[in-house]
């Protein structure tokens, strides 16, 4: 009798361990596919941005934007269109939720001497050049909210590239207003803003 119960318990235990708990299992296949480029702790690597601590809704919107090809810059096209093509909505939700909970590290790769000017522009904008204050939407410390992304601590290279790409006519997953805003930024403004943000914790 006890032998039968023990073997039944063993079967149940075996089956349960085979179901991946996606949201908190770093070793699951789906998560590994992402961290291959975005870094094992999702802090970003080379051209792939940091996903750790990014807004859940924003990550989800980008994954959907890759699926619909709304987000169309060259790196998106080359890497992310394929990566997101077969993601189910449930898996996309789970991945977005998982990455949003990881602790972030600031990239610190901007120009230190431009950070102060970048901070002023980020927090207050410049009405004389009709530059809006990024903080109105992205928050006082670049934390973002809802579908508006966290910018604090993202890589200077990545931020600069995104702002330039929008100026060149590539599209965002959520339009407007970012491509419109980025089109109006001067190269100097992009330099200082991207530098400042890369240092924000």
Partner 1 sequence: MKVIGSRLALQAILAIALSAAGRADGADRGYSRGSLHAKIEYCTLCHGLSGQGYRGFVPIPRLAGQQPEYFENQLRAFVEGRRQNRYMSNAARGLSAATRAAIAEHFSGLHARPWGGAPRGLVATGKRIYQDGDPETNVPACMACHGPDAKGQDAIPRLAGQLPDYIFNKLVNWSRERGQDPANPDVSAVMLPTSHNLTRSQISAIAAYLSYQP
Q: CA-CA distance, 193 to 114, in Å (whole number)?
A: 8
Q: Is 102 in the site for partner 1 (CB under 8 A)?
A: no
- Distance between CA atoms of residues 42 and 23, nearest Å: 14
Query: How far is Cα of residue 65 from the mean position of the Cα atoms in its chain?
Result: 13
In whole angstroms, the minimum distance from the beta carbon of 86 to partner 1 comes to: 32
Least Å from the CB of residue 136 to partner 1 = 5
Q: Both tokens of residue 70?
A: 């709304």
CA angle 188, 65, 187 (to 5 degrees): 5
Site string for partner 1, 162-191 (x = CB under 8 A): --------------xx--xx--x-------
| Separation of alpha carbons 46 and 39, rounded Å | 9
Taking residues 142 to 161 in sequence order and writing x for each that binds partner 1 by CB under 8 A, - otherwise, the string is --xxx-x-------------
Torsion angle defined by CA atoms of residues 43, 171, 192 and 103, in that order, rounded to the nearest 10 degrees? -20
Residue 74 binding partner 1, by CB under 8 A: no
If binding is defined by CB under 8 A, does position 124 make contact with partner 1? Answer: yes
| Binding positions for partner 1, rule: CB under 8 A | 124-125, 127-128, 130, 132-133, 135-140, 144-146, 148, 176-177, 180-181, 184
């Amino acid at each position: 009798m006890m032998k039968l119960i023990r073997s039944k318990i063993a079967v149940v235990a075996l089956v349960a361990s085979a179901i991946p708990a996606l949201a908190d299992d770093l070793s699951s296949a789906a998560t590994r596919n992402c961290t291959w480029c975005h870094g094992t702790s999702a802090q970003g690597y080379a051209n792939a941005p940091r996903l750790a601590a990014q807004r859940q809704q924003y990550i989800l919107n980008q994954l959907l934007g890759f699926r619909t090809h709304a987000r169309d810059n060259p790196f998106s096209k080359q890497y992310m269109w394929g990566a997101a093509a077969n993601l189910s909505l449930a898996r996309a939700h789970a991945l977005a939720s998982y990455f949003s909970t990881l602790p972030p590290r600031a990239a610190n790769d901007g120009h230190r001497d431009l950070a102060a000017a970048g901070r002023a522009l980020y927090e207050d904008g410049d009405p004389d050049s009709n530059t809006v204050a990024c903080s109105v939407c992205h928050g006082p410390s670049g934390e973002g909210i809802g579908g508006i992304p966290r910018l604090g601590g993202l890589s200077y290279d990545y931020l600069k590239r995104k702002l330039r790409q929008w100026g060149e006519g590539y599209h965002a997953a959520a339009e407007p207003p970012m491509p419109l805003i980025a089109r109006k930024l001067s190269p100097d403004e992009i330099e200082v803003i991207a530098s400042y943000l890369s240092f924000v914790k």
